[in-house]
Chain A
Amino acid sequence: MSLAIALHTPEPVADDRELLRFTTAGSVDDGKSTLIGRLLYDTKTAFIDQIEHVEAVSKRRGDERVNLALLTDGLRAEREQGITIDVAYRYFTTQRRKFIIGDTPGHVQYTRNMVTGASTAQLAIVLVDARQGVVEQSRRHALIASLLRIPHIVFAINKMDLVDWSEASFSAIEAELRAFSHNLDADDFTFIPISALTGANVVERSALMPWYRGPTLLHHLETVPVSGDRNLIDVRFPVQWVIRPQWDTHHDYRGYAGQLASGILRPGDAVTVLPSGHTTTIARLEQGGRELAVAYPPMSVTVHLADDIDVGRGDLICRPANSQPVVSQELDAMICWMADRPLQPRGRYALKHTTRWTRAIVTELVSRLDIQTGAHTEAAELPLNSLGRIRLRTTAPIVYDAYRQNRTTGSFILVDETSNATVAAGMLLGHDR
């Protein structure tokens, strides 16, 4: 690979590009790091000093060619062991979008990192080695992506150069993945044959696969519609912080600050505050002193209410008219266990849901999810990196939606009260009234 990067003079970039967060999952040899290196390199995001660095390291280690995968290795231990041990975040920009990559390792023991990367992603790239076809890891990655309700899943069939750019190989894998995906809780699947090593169909269309008529990977990332993924119907505004200036000039100022999870807010709208159930209207909306006519997700705004009612951090503002969240102390959830010490039935943890902390006790370990087969089995405990269904009882009511309806009001974390470590990611299941 040549170091002479074409002098790149980008066109002026507009300020109104959209943001797309995606996650990549793949096992050690799927070429995931190479793919990300390729995206950074071909979009001219990899800087000369980084490339020089990678070149020098490749040479010192006696690698045959410049190892693009090294562009994404961060920590000393990873470079020494040649593996990715944690979620790393990468950034690149094109004329159309800014991208945040949550780059997660694929080893079985790092399920927790995959879940972490998936939690904020709008799209997942699942890498499949064209030579190996669909392996357990591909299924596991796709299953986690669908569990975490990532709206768009892309299967990138990689290493097409090693199967002679064969349409038959690609089609067989696609058919198998389609059959498997029927059982997944997701709607948008895309299949793209690529070679991260040569760059085929990553940024540039490859002439070697004329039978493929779909978009390149980058084109898909740039154009897949994501603003429509937001829920603009059900108002969910978790109150984060109450702004009360201690200045005489703002004596009566009382603003409820937070980030709008879903729905649209306008001054004059009737709202209900949960869990208290008080109803009032929005007097005005502002953002850093600027008045707003409307707020939509994911805006961070300040809401002023017409009536002086008791509202604080942890409360949820919604609309009385449309579908209401559940208010309950009994929770039913899928969790990913992330601590060395297994989850114990009757275990007690701190629970954070939206902007509210409460305590919770595990009342039942319902089942463990086998991530190879998707089957639920009975289990006595949940070890590190396992997924399972549990029931919890909280000390105070939680105002929530099912995770599949709302990723913000449907998610929670469990924290060990002694070590303060985050030990589980939770996704609330349907309404357990």
Chain B
Amino acid sequence: MQRRSHLKTLEDEAVHILRELVAERERVCLLFSGGKDSIVLLRLAELAFRPAKFPFPLVHVDTGHNFPETLDYRDRRVVELGERLIVASVQDSIDRGRVSEERGPRASRNRLQTTTLLDCIEEHQFDAAIGGARRDEERARAKERIFSHRDEFGQWDPKNQRPELWSLYNGRVRRGEHLRVFPLSNWTELDVWEYIRLEDIPLPSLYFAHERDVFERDGMLYGANPFVELLPTERVRREVVRFRTIGDMTCTGAVKSDARTLDEIIAEVAAARLTERGATRADDRFTEAAMEDRKREGYF
């Protein structure tokens, strides 16, 4: 009797997590990237708190290298929801001398985001930030708690995490510390897509197959964009592609795909044999423990 599907069970859990967090912390924000995971977070926040307003603002860490489609989607969605958006700009961090721009063809602002994010958390005195990260994305994330503690330097200490039992989340922090909270921890990429289909959630067009000027680097396709210098051997060509993740234009690769509908994407994801980060994220390729290192520093 009354079996609950896995998608609805994951939804129930995520809504519970969001409500626990806002009940336990004073100054919460939701990190909204414009990617599908944070788009799902917004839907879960509606389920958790409507008809009231969200008890937190949205924060977008804008590298200045975002896809225009992402920014359009973000601004439209914020208006539809009637919620408050804070934009934390990497360009500002560069202008203020907090970080310096990387140079050369492989320059990326991906790593610089960490400083911008931590500065934003400090400026607004946030004591918790909700993120859309999932444990299936990456090996270091597989071990991260749902309520994940950050010290006053914003650092994660993977070997000294608080045990997390039942659904009894420990939301306590000392002044200057904060939590990262991941309601989608137990979702897989396929779950996210199936949920988007189930709930009929609109997405940025980047996720669906479209024609685009691309170039190939290290076995991955990147959209041609003004922020990346081509290496001498690299040539721009036209391909039908889609994005499996949406991050910085400089480090988010596209995959060749004809999937133009959610059903086609789900069929493709179900058959996919490369993890989405392995397939499309240069940022995880640096070292065997690239994500672990960045997370320790305070990355998303």
Q: Which of B51, B135, B143, B279 makes the CB contact (< 8 A) with A86?
A: B143
Say whether A232 faces chain B, with CB atoms less than 8 Å apart. Answer: yes
Instruction: Look across to chain B and name the residue whose beta carbon is closest to the beta carbon of A72.
Output: B142
Question: B49 near A243 (CB under 8 angstroms)?
Answer: yes
Q: Which of B135, B173, B198 makes the CB contact (< 8 A) with A15?
A: B198
Say whether B2 faces chain A, with CB atoms less than 8 Å apart. Answer: yes
**A15-B194, A241-B23, A298-B12 given; A412·B168 CB < 8 A:** yes
Q: Which residues of chain B from 8 to 36 have any CB-CB distance to chain A below 8 Å in the complex?
A: 8-13, 15-16, 19-20, 22-23
Binary per-residue interface labels of chain A (241-267) against chain B in the complex, 1 for a CB within 8 Å, 0 otherwise:
101111100100100011100001000
**A19-B10, A75-B143 given; A47·B47 CB < 8 A:** no
Say whether A227 faces chain B, with CB atoms less than 8 Å apart. Answer: yes
Q: Which residues of chain A from 64 to 106 have any CB-CB distance to chain B below 8 Å in the complex?
A: 73-77, 79, 85-91, 93, 97-98, 100
How distant is the Cα of A16 from the Cα of B191 in the complex, in angstroms?
A: 11
Say whether B96 faces chain A, with CB atoms less than 8 Å apart. Answer: no
Q: Which of A119, A354, A413 makes the CB contact (< 8 A) with B170?
A: A413
Say whether B162 faces chain A, with CB atoms less than 8 Å apart. Answer: yes
Question: A49 near B52 (CB under 8 angstroms)?
Answer: no
Say whether B48 faces chain A, with CB atoms less than 8 Å apart. Answer: yes
Question: B52 near A48 (CB under 8 angstroms)?
Answer: no
Question: A422 near B164 (CB under 8 angstroms)?
Answer: yes
Q: Which of B5, B10, B163, B166 makes the CB contact (< 8 A) with A112?
A: B163
Say whether A338 faces chain B, with CB atoms less than 8 Å apart. Answer: yes
Give min CB distance, A220 to chain B, whole Å.
Answer: 18
Say whether A411 faces chain B, with CB atoms less than 8 Å apart. Answer: yes
Q: List chain B residues, Cβ under 8 A from A77.
A: 159
Question: Which of B9, B135, B168 has the largest count of A CB atoms less than 10 A from its CB?
Answer: B168
Say whether A212 faces chain B, with CB atoms less than 8 Å apart. Answer: no
Q: Which residues of chain A from 274 to 317 have any CB-CB distance to chain B below 8 Å in the complex?
A: 287-289, 294, 296-300, 313
**A287-B47, A425-B165 given; A48·B273 CB < 8 A:** yes
Question: B11 near A300 (CB under 8 angstroms)?
Answer: yes
Question: B165 near A74 (CB under 8 angstroms)?
Answer: no
**A74-B140, A240-B16 given; A120·B166 CB < 8 A:** yes
Instruction: Look across to chain B and name the residue whose beta carbon is closest to the beta carbon of A299.
Output: B12
Q: Which residues of chain B from 90 to 140 have any CB-CB distance to chain A below 8 Å in the complex?
A: 135-136, 139-140
Q: Which of B23, B46, B162 makes the CB contact (< 8 A) with A240?
A: B23
Say whether A421 faces chain B, with CB atoms less than 8 Å apart. Answer: yes
**A13-B270, A76-B289, A288-B46 given; A298·B162 CB < 8 A:** no
Question: A16 near B5 (CB under 8 angstroms)?
Answer: yes
Say whether B53 faces chain A, with CB atoms less than 8 Å apart. Answer: yes
Chain A-chain B contacts (Cβ-Cβ < 8 Å), number:
206
Give min CB distance, A81 to chain B, whole Å.
Answer: 12
Q: Which of A12, A241, A294, A354 makes the CB contact (< 8 A) with B22?
A: A241
Give min CB distance, B92 to chain A, whole Å.
Answer: 32
Q: Which residues of chain A from 110 to 161 have any CB-CB distance to chain B below 8 Å in the complex?
A: 112-113, 115-116, 119-120
Q: Which of A12, A246, A289, A298 makes the CB contact (< 8 A) with B53?
A: A246
**A13-B194, A245-B51, A300-B11 given; A49·B275 CB < 8 A:** yes
Q: Which of B13, B142, B170, B275 makes the CB contact (< 8 A) with A88?
A: B142
Q: List chain A residues, Cβ under 8 A from B190.
A: 13, 93
Question: B275 near A47 (CB under 8 angstroms)?
Answer: yes
Instruction: Look across to chain A and name the residue whose beta carbon is closest to the beta carbon of B146.
Output: A89
How distant is the Cα of A123 from the Cα of B190 in the complex, in angstroms?
A: 23
Say whether A355 faces chain B, with CB atoms less than 8 Å apart. Answer: yes
Question: A408 near B143 (CB under 8 angstroms)?
Answer: no
Say whether A213 faces chain B, with CB atoms less than 8 Å apart. Answer: no
Q: List chain B residues, Cβ under 8 A from A73.
A: 139
Binary per-residue interface labels of chain B (244-280) against chain A in the complex, 1 for a CB within 8 Å, 0 otherwise:
0000000000000000000000110011111100110
Q: List chain A residues, Cβ under 8 A from B292.
A: 74-76
6 sample A-B contacts, Cβ–Cβ < 8 Å, listed by A number? A75-B139, A90-B142, A232-B2, A247-B52, A421-B162, A422-B163
Starting from the known contacts A15-B7, A74-B139, 15 additional A-B residue pairs (CB-CB under 8 Å) come to A44-B273, A49-B278, A74-B143, A91-B136, A91-B188, A115-B165, A240-B20, A243-B52, A247-B51, A289-B50, A298-B13, A350-B172, A413-B165, A413-B168, A420-B174
